[in-house]
Amino acid sequence: MSVVLENGRRQVDYWATVYKRTWKGSLVSSFLLPLLYLAAMGIGLGSFVDGNGSGALGGISYLQFIAPGLLASTALQIAVGESTYPVLGGIKWQKFYFSMIATPLRPADVMYGQLAFVAFRVLTTCVVFLLVIAVFGGLATPWGLLGLPVALLVGMAAAAPVCAVATRLDNDSGFAMIFRFGVIPAFLFSGAFFPVSQLPNWIEWLAYLSPLWHGVELSRDLSLNTVDPLTALGNLAYLAAWFGVGTWFAVRGLTRRLIS
């Protein structure tokens, strides 16, 4: 137990130092851009949608409809951003992962520390975003505050498999594919802005495969207090499976890159 605590302390010291030196550079992507999305889509576009009546949305405003989805989408984008270039940089460019395993840290400890830092970034960003959503009236009920742990789980469900991919790349060209064919389609077709039932059938089923859709649905159900227990458990299990399997592959990939 003492070894585990000591390894954890080493990781906390490192990542705290990194964040103290780099947090200013993350202000725009972490806080400003999500707020602009909220203002443009929820308040700007929402005024036109609400002007035509809210019956199609079940009697809620458009802002209250999209706010839970934007929270989950923000978590995914932050998580992917922290799981691509930083991971490959630790292996190929700055090579700080090699310095870490020169200590008693194992590759698995290094990956757990990376994922813990991703969780910290997702959590801090989403806390601020959720407070802003609440101030603007984006939470239909107080249960919407439970969207925070859901957003964290969405972020980790995305971060772990992306870390696994990053440990297997030799250059950063593969990241463009992740953002172009992974993050952007997931963001647009996650049900955050409109029900995916309005999509063509073949695209609708693809949306259900995305962990983001499950996070958006669960966050929205919580905010509207319309949670079905079995459906919620299914969504949680799906997100947990992405995180668990992704973590296993990420640890395995990093171990091969650092030790082989």
Which pLDDT tens digits describe the chain residue by residue (260 residues)? 555 566 666 677 777 777 777 766 666 666 677 777 777 766 666 666 656 655 556 667 888 888 898 899 999 999 999 999 999 999 999 899 998 898 888 999 999 999 999 999 999 999 988 988 888 888 888 898 999 999 999 999 999 999 999 999 999 889 999 999 899 888 888 888 888 888 888 788 888 999 999 999 999 999 988 999 999 999 999 999 999 999 999 999 999 999 87
Direct distance between the N- and C-terminal alpha carbons of the chain, in angstroms, rounded to an integer: 28
Q: What is the pLDDT of residues 138-185, one digit of tens each?
A: 888 889 899 999 999 999 999 999 999 999 999 988 999 999 989 988
d(CA 82, CA 42): 26
Chain-centroid distance of CA 206 in Å reads 19
Least Cα distance to 116 among 13, 22, 186, 234 occurs for 13
Query: Phi first, then psi: what are they for 183, rounded to 5°?
Result: -70, -50
The answer to whether 219 and 76 have CB atoms below 8 angstroms apart is: no
User: Per the structure, how many domains does the chain have?
Assistant: 1
Chain-centroid distance of CA 227 in Å reads 21
Domain range spanning residue 53?
Answer: 2-259
Tokens 């997100």 identify what position? 239
d(CA 28, CA 226): 34
d(CA 251, CA 160): 9
